[in-house]
Amino acid sequence: MNITDTSAPWLLMVFSLPSAKASERVQVWRKLQKFGAISFRNSGYLLPNTPENRERFAWACAVVRSHKGEASVLEVASVDDLSAEGLRDLFRQAREPEYIALQRELQKLKAQPGPPTTQVVRLRKRFDEIVGMDFFGSQRRPVVEQLFEPLAKPAAGQTTMKPKAAKKDYQGKTWVTRPRPGIDRVSSAWLITRFIDPKARFLFADDPGKHRAAVPFDMYSTTGFGHEGDRCTYETLCRSFGIRDKRMLLIAEAVHDADLEDGNFGHHEGHAMNQVLRGWAAQNVPDDQLLRRGMDLIEGFYNSIPQSKETLP
């Protein structure tokens, strides 16, 4: 989390609404809760001073003023009777009951073979929401996160992921995929350059047979890397190269939901990025630029994911 101004690391929003505006007050209060703001001694709501939180408070102030209320955002350098760590602890304590409630629900569930159940998907979405408000890393976060791991075991006959391909055999390659890349192909290309072949080159063709020296991915053929069962190409690459980075695997879930449209994991980010790609394609952006822009989107998504635990055991 990037603090905007280290000399004033906190933002305090104070507001008032006419007594007749009870429902509007509740509306603002609920939004502040979703932002992760904490009530500070009945004087206002506190957030870390980041660009995103500045925008959030600006939005909340605009809502208050639209209802004939008054609102201000103060930059706070320090609190005389609370250290910086003490303030951070207030945010951690605010997330504690939410993590505990989620932990209790997860502990009631039993592992089932196959994809995550609807209930697991719902709880995972709730966990992601809490993490988005957990600015300073509650100690309970990794405890709860680990409870998700056994809840979607491989189906009968499946084995755990083992590398089937060696990175050393795929260095400095040309990779070929279909024209007009969508979410699965751009994310796969990003994964290839980020974790497999940093000097990868990409070309587009409908028939991989015309480029026999290139490595096909997400093609309508049985060669190269593509869909396997109910896995998209991105998931196949992760599995084939034994990629265990947890942020990579979260992206795999988002790409799966967008590409296969089966709602297995309950993520919306992949759908949003795919819509952007479709918009660029409708503007006749060339294939190579479409791929590069899409890879930049995935890189931004990757860097936005909290780094609570980088790799699976």
Range of the domain at 287: 167-304
Q: What percent of the chain has pLDDT over 90?
A: 67
84-108 vs 140-148: helix crossing angle, rounded to 10: 20
Query: Cβ distance 295 to 177 under 8 Å?
Result: no
Q: Are residues 173 and 296 in the same domain?
A: yes
Judge whether residue 221 has pLDDT over 80. Answer: no
Q: Are residues 146 and 173 in the same domain?
A: no
Q: Are residues 184 and 71 in the same domain?
A: no
290, part of any domain: yes
Check residue 141 and give its pLDDT: 93
Q: Are residues 220 and 283 in the same domain?
A: yes
Band the pLDDT of 161: cuts 50, 70, 90.
very low
3, part of any domain: no
Judge whether residue 153 has pLDDT over 70. Answer: no
* DSSP per residue, 37-65: -EEETTTEEEEE--HHHHHHHHHHHHHHH
161, part of any domain: no
pLDDT in tens, 71-92: 999 999 999 999 999 999 999 9
2, part of any domain: no
268, part of any domain: yes
